[in-house]
Structure 1
Amino acid sequence: MSNKIINVKNINGTDFGLAAMPVIFVLLWSTGFIGAKFGLPYAEPFTFLFIRFVLTLMLLIPIIWMMRITWPSGTALWLHIGVSGLLVHGAYLGGVFYGINLGMPAGLAALLVGLQPLLTAAFAGPLLGERLTKRQWLGLLLGLVGISLVLGSKLEFGTSLFAGFGMGALLCVMAALVGISLGTLYQKRYCTSMPLLSGAVIQYIAAGVLLGIGALLFETRQVEWSMTFVLTLSWLVLILSIAAILLLMALIKKGEASRVASLFYLVPPVTALQAWWLFDERLPALGLAGMVIAITGVVMVVRQPRQAAA
């Protein structure tokens, strides 16, 4: 009998857990859009987000102190991190929550802001001097075609409004898309030495101030503290703003950050599936085809070409 032994050392709890971490991260991230849909009937968007950031900071700052995590060094870096927070969290979340509050389906909002890699790639040329390959340009074109099909499938031509929501909702989510895209580039250029967790605290403080001002100026700040709202807020604070960030830190430490980035294109379909199950949000066949085309375009832009074997 042969001495060959099947090697199953990789099939254990530790390796399985590491392999599952990127998928878990994407699943958690996709619930942010669903959380907005659940919580917005009980609080206005800026008020909702301001409360979320305050509670997140109350929990994150003690974690940083207990873990003895260092803070960014230098006033300039603090200011750069603050600006990135205004864009990445303030403009992005504020735009998404306000768009959903105005009636945009959560799945469509996820798809629109999921085009962020396309817009980032388009901005990277003039802002960072990066050149796009032919495949990336094709991906950008596919992304535009796909999103045009999705929006076209929702357009009521007789009224020039989108089914269930108006142009205001679309403009809010597009502002969120521009915010997250510019914020990503700004952070890449000026905040590369930012400690992840303490840097996130600075970003949350900056975004919280912005959204707090927005709540004071434009909202009544009334909150209905129902069980649904409390549970939704708890999920967004504990699972998204804290657990997802700590999971991202673990992934980066394990060298899995690129794997997370490659899986981000799954967020829109996962969100759309959740929204269909929970809220009966549906896309017609043309819209579903557009979603597949748009996601394919995103993959073509963000996926790194394989190195030729030596």
Structure 2
Amino acid sequence: MRSSRWTVPLLSVLFVPLWASGFIAGKIATQHMEVPTVLLWRFVIAAVAMGAVAAVMRPALPRGSAWIHLAVTALLLQVGQFSAVYTGLANGVPAGLSSLILGMAPLLVGLLTPLLLSTKLGPAPVFGLVIGAAGVYVVLSDELGGGISSAVVFPVLGMLSLTAGTLYQKRFNEDTPVVTSVIVQMLTSLVVTAVAMPFLGAAWLPSDAGGWASVVWLGIFNSAGAFALMFLLLRWRSTVHVSALLNLVPATTALIAVPVLGEVLTVQALLGLGIALVGMYVGLGMVRRRRKKPDPEPVATGS
């Protein structure tokens, strides 16, 4: 599966708000139901949505150890990340602070990529990631002024799961069709969550329309949609590309929260968004490419 010239920019533009919407919908969902119920229906709806896509596209099935790698990725990217983040939200951790902590994952991914994968980083991507992280901090720095309970450990665990899952997906699932990768991960996560439900004492169904609406969004758009885009971008570009895009998520979350959650748009959000945009611009190597554009010889870029 190859990308055209405009495919990656378009998918990148779609990816950021879809990923950011997970914090908004997750905040709403945890106000209507317990965390295991949120996870269960997120995975049910995502599995059904991707199953319909798979029925049309008929992607190849994983072979051999690919099943195990997909299951491990599911435990990290899906169960680990979202159970930790939603537990933090349910225990009073602000959505903004959760977004800030998860925003540190791109920096870790970018710095660990040369150590764990074959990708080589020049100074520009690393510098861009640092600028993006500074933008993340500026956006939500006011969240750090209040009291922070021990529940902050949950989004930290979610951030570590996201970091590990992103690297694992890039290292071991590159040859698996995207649709196959997403649906196997959702089904794996669904099975794990369903098995755990009787021991967690949570309700099996959302109790009201608000709960259903939030898990439908999480399942279709933030789960199936956002992760499909993420895996495509990891395949066509690199972990650095995805990391630079994820740097924009906290600022984007702050912007979405204005009309949806009624939160006030602060000066920090606008300033941080601008800094994060600069970080993405530098981290993706756009400055270097524009400078070398007049050269007659094509310049090879890592992916």
- In the superposition, the TM-score normalised over structure 1's length comes to 0.75
**4+ residue stretches of structure 1 with deviation over 6 A?**
15-19, 246-253, 255-258
| Residue in structure 2 matched with residue 167 of structure 1 by the alignment | 150
| Residue in structure 1 matched with residue 87 of structure 2 by the alignment | 98
Within a 5 Å distance, the mapping from 1:148-297 to structure 2 comes to 153-156=142-145, 161-162=147-148, 166-168=149-151, 170-213=152-195, 215-221=197-203, 223-244=205-226, 261=242, 263-282=245-264, 285=267, 289=271, 293=275, 296-297=278-279
Match for residue 43 of structure 2 among 28, 43, 53: 53
Match for residue 120 of structure 1 among 100, 109, 116: 109
CA distance in 2, matches of 1:16, 1:127: 30
Mark the CA change 1:263 to 1:196 in structure 2 (over 3 Å): closer, same or farther: same
CA distance in 2, matches of 1:200, 1:251: 14
| Residue in structure 1 matched with residue 300 of structure 2 by the alignment | none
SS of aligned partner of 1:126: helix
- Matched to 1:194, the amino acid is T
C-alpha contact 1:265 1:299 (8 A) present in aligned 2: no
* 1:66-117 Cα shifts (integer Å, max 9, x gaps): 322211122x111011111111112222222222222233344233323322
CA distance in 2, matches of 1:104, 1:291: 22
Please say which structure displays the higher CA radius of gyration. 1
- Matched to 2:26, the amino acid is A
CA distance in 2, matches of 1:179, 1:299: 26
1:23 aligns with 2:6: no
Cα RMSD after superposing both structures: 3.7
Mark the CA change 1:256 to 1:81 in structure 2 (over 3 Å): closer, same or farther: closer
* 1:230-255 Cα shifts (integer Å, max 9, x gaps): 222222223333445666789899x7
What percentage of residue pairs aligned between the two structures are identical?
27
**For this pair of structures, how many residues does the alignment match?**
287
Unaligned runs of 5+ in 1: 1-14
Aligned-residue offset at 1:140 = 5.0
Mark the CA change 1:135 to 1:31 in structure 2 (over 3 Å): closer, same or farther: same
| Residue in structure 2 matched with residue 11 of structure 1 by the alignment | none
SS of aligned partner of 1:87: helix
Mark the CA change 1:238 to 1:154 in structure 2 (over 3 Å): closer, same or farther: closer
CA distance in 1, matches of 2:234, 2:165: 20
Mark the CA change 1:88 to 1:16 in structure 2 (over 3 Å): closer, same or farther: closer
- In the superposition, the TM-score normalised over structure 2's length comes to 0.76
C-alpha contact 2:106 2:129 (8 A) present in aligned 1: no
